Amino acid sequence: MKRFVAAPMTVMATVAVLVVLSVVALVITTVTAIAAPWPVYGGDGGRSGFQAVDGGGVPATLAWTRTTVDDSDVRTSLIASDGADASKQRVLYGTDNGRVHVRVLLTGARVGPSNGVSVSAAANPFGGGSASVSPVDVGGQAYVLHNERFVPPDPLGTPGIELAHIDESTGLRAKDDVTIAAAAGYVIESSPVIGPPTTGSDVRSLYFVARQEGGTNERLFKMDISNAGSPTSTVGTITSTEDINANSQASPTLVWLTAADGTPTLYIAVGTVDSMRTYRATDLAAGPSAAGLGLNVRTVSTPTTASGSPPGSPGSGVAVTPALYVASSDGASTLVHKLTQTGTSDALSATTSVAIDGDAANGLMTDQIASVTGASDGRVYVTTSKRLVSLRTTDMTVVAGRDGSFRNIVPAGTGNVLALADDSGAQSIFLADDLSRVAPELFTPDAGATGAKSSFGQPTISRRFLVFGSDKGVFAYALRRATPPTGYWLMASDGGVFSFGDAPFFGSTGDIVLNKPIVGTGLTPTDQGYWMVATDGGVFSFGDATFFGSTGAMTLNSPVVGMAPTPTGQGYWLVAADGGIFAFGDAAFFGSTGDIKLNQPIVGMAATVTGLGYWLVASDGGIFAFGDATFFGSTGAIALNKPIVGMAAEPSGRGYWLVASDGGVFAFGRAPFFGSTGDIALNSPIVAISVSATGQGYLFAAADGGVFAFGDAPFLGSTGNIVLNKPVVTMAVQP
């Protein structure tokens, strides 16, 4: 009998409980912020482009798309808002029709009006040509500068700039737009950036570059905003420099340099027609600069810190920005410059690359990390109309390059990969070390993304979600962890949860009288929550895991033996010992063995990276593949020493591992063999296997909570020497 069940909610546990005896929360280290906004301080256009926090890598799997007419013609970079709460983190973007869109980063769900918020009916509201004027995020509030046309008394309209304020919790305007009188007659063509709160106050300053329409006057503007993180913010003083010949399509950047009195000071770096200038953030007084850099200096990029904050910013732990990176271009070739300050000098020294073919994009990216002990070796990645090139940060020597037209696109990077779209809108992921394009099985863009006329600005990467925008719409992909996991969980049959490393404890059923024992678990994509399932199919949700249904009130033919979440975290499958499948949330039913006479019972399952298929494994190692799951082999015809107890899928979906109760490992497809306990006398049998998100290792859990680590999977602790109330039955490793 095939089963596709959407039973009413019967079992749900969402409140974390204090657990005794078998329920232990072993938090070894403080958890690093898991969702730093990118880019920092709400910017765009290459200020860093590198997401140092919660870095991801391939494979990248499609999470959601939005390609309706309302989402077409994306004209800005994609901006990920701040927020440690996954349900509140947003992705923001503007479209060419003058509308601003707010969506939930994890799901793509619309926040606010179905077609976005209209902020301008003017032509080129967010810049023209290759320009991009992106929103700024401040603690759940979006600030959107945009061009406007004021008709009276000129029937053709007088240019001007307005500021819209949108509350990201509702997707609606927090108040009426503010017309910037000081910028009358000006147009904006690059993104603003917002500074930290002024010492001793709640005032933050928004900085942007604008040019006088029809003239040659380009200025840096400063706009003070009080209580910027609240819907009740107010705009204060607006000032500007005189004409500084700014490159109006280059965005300003926050940098901390050493002032004449030796004090680390915040400056605003601006590219001009032939130089890079800085202006003191408090009063726009001229600061250190670098001349003779070539024509049309672009947006400055700086190293980031390990926390994701720019060097010098409050809480970053680094006093000053160790280096500034910027490109200049005459349209035919591009130069890349590394700018450094010696002492309190007003003249920044430049180390310049060889000429690179093609016209540069408006920004670039560096993966250099700054710390109190100095800046790491790293690379600078620059895109032009002819090339994607990486250079060493130490001396600006070209390391690698590949052909392509990327004039309008700036890379976003995380882990060991770069994400960018070319000028035709084609989406790609490249390996950072040699700029090779990753294999299709590691990243295949959604079919709806093909044929786009163009893309602008940068993708965004946050919470290991990569989001592209183009003329076709918005495309989000879930990335895998690029580094070995630093935490894992063990679950006992009474639902006791044991957390190791930096895996957070979100709750358990250890002090609840269960109808049936726990047999399986699944993690949310954020690793900020988990589900547990009992043999009657009762489901218990903790952290940011959502309850989508259960079989707790049904009479089952066979007990549930495991579960697997969908890649989006918006659904899950339960599997019974007869191979019956129960699908909830966005989990689709692709088939089952419920009406097949099995040689041995099903003991586990794994989902494909796309969420469009799954594998079932029986205790004899027989494999049953459904949907887009590929059969790579089995042990069904092999006489095993001990029965199979679990399986794990290789992250690319091109293979899987099976583990037996003695810890014997069987690797199929592209799944490498890293070792086993098959020849070790175990105190307790193995009950579960979980793979490192990198695909370069795996962990076993034994019934006594003993943990065995292979490959790059780390050993972070176990319950092997603890007397448990109930045996461990399953485990989960950070995704």
The 3 state secondary structure assigned to 37-65 is: CECHHHCCCCCCCECCCCCEEEEEEEEEE
* Domain assignment present for 183: yes
Note the pTM of the prediction, 2 decimals: 0.79
575 and 440 share one domain: no
Is the same domain home to 568 and 469? no
- Give the separation between CA 732 and CA 719, rounded to whole angstroms: 15
Residue 25 is assigned to a structural domain of this protein: no
Q: List the one residue out of 159, 92, 103 whose CA is nearest residue 127.
A: 159
Measure CA of the first residue to CA of the last residue in the chain; give whole Å. 33
Radius of gyration of the chain (CA): 27
Average pLDDT over residues 515-531: 94
Going by pLDDT thresholds of 50, 70 and 90, the confidence category of residue 14 is very low
Residue 423 lies in a domain: yes
Residues 293 and 369 in one domain: yes
For residue 486, tell me if it sits in a domain. no
Task: Show which of 451, 478, 505 is a domain's final residue.
Answer: 478
Other beta carbons less than 10 A from residue 403's beta carbon: 9
Q: Binning pLDDT at 50, 70 and 90, where does residue 27 land?
A: very low
Extract the tokens encoding 700.
Answer: 């076993």
Q: Does residue 1 sit within a domain? A: no
Q: Which has the closest alpha carbon to 259: 238, 234, 279?
A: 279
Q: Are 625 and 638 in contact (CB under 8 A)?
A: no
Q: How confident is the model at residue 354, as a pLDDT?
A: 98
* Confidence band, pLDDT 50/70/90 cuts, at residue 154: low
Q: What is the pLDDT of residue 156?
A: 61
Question: What secondary structure letter does DSSP report for 393?
Answer: T
State phi, psi for 41 to the nearest 5 degrees.
60, 30
Whether residue 11 lies inside any domain: the answer is no
Are residue 461 and residue 511 in the same domain, yes or no?
no
Residue 32: inside a domain: no
Range with lowest mean pLDDT among 113-117, 130-134, 299-303, 364-368: 130-134
**Structural domain ending residue among the three candidates 427, 446, 478:** 478
Q: List the domain range (segments joined by +) for residue 587.
A: 495-733
Q: Which of 108, 147, 113, 111 is nearest to 127 (CA)?
A: 147
Same domain (yes/no): 436, 503: no
β-pairing, 186-188 vs 374-375, is unpaired
Same domain? 599 vs 691: yes
The pLDDT tens digits of the residues spanning 297-347 come to 999 999 988 888 888 888 888 999 999 999 999 999 999 999 999 999 999
Q: Measure the CA–CA gap between 67 and 421, rounded to whole angstroms.
A: 17
- Asked whether residue 464 falls in the same domain as residue 518, the answer is no
| Same-domain check for residues 469 and 569 | no
Out of 421, 444, 478, a domain closes at: 478
CA 499, CA 507: separation in Å to the nearest integer? 10
For residue 688, the number of C-alpha atoms closer than 13 Å in the C-beta half-sphere is: 30
Give 555 or 678, the one with higher predicted confidence: 555
- What is the H or E stretch that residue 567 is in? none
Same domain, 717 and 572: yes
Q: What sign does the CA torsion over 383, 388, 393, 395 have? A: negative
Q: Are residues 448 and 503 located together in one domain of the fold?
A: no
Phi, psi of 598 (to 5 degrees): -90, 150
Query: Does residue 499 share a domain with residue 417?
Result: no
Q: Mean pLDDT for the chain?
A: 89
Mean pLDDT of 598-613: 93
* In contact, 625 and 613? CB cutoff 8 Å: yes
Check which CATH number belongs to the domain holding 256 and give it.
2.130.10.10
Residue 332: how many other CB atoms lie within 10 Å: 12
pLDDT for the residue 702: 97
Lowest mean pLDDT among 112-116, 509-513, 542-546, 644-648: 509-513
- List the Cα angle 236/241/247 in 5-degree steps: 115
Same domain assignment for residues 560 and 622: yes
Q: What is the pLDDT of residues 50-100, one digit of tens each?
A: 888 777 888 888 888 999 999 999 999 899 887 767 778 899 999 999 999
Domain count, the chain: 2
**Any idea which residue has 């899928």 for tokens?**
649
| 375-409 pLDDT tens trace | 999 999 999 999 999 999 999 999 999 999 998 88
Q: How many CB atoms lie within 10 A of CB 156?
A: 7
Is 22 a domain residue? no
Residue 143, token pair as written in the block: 């600030």
- Is residue 594 within 8 Å of residue 552, measured between CB atoms? no
Task: Output 107 or 452, whichever has higher pLDDT.
Answer: 107
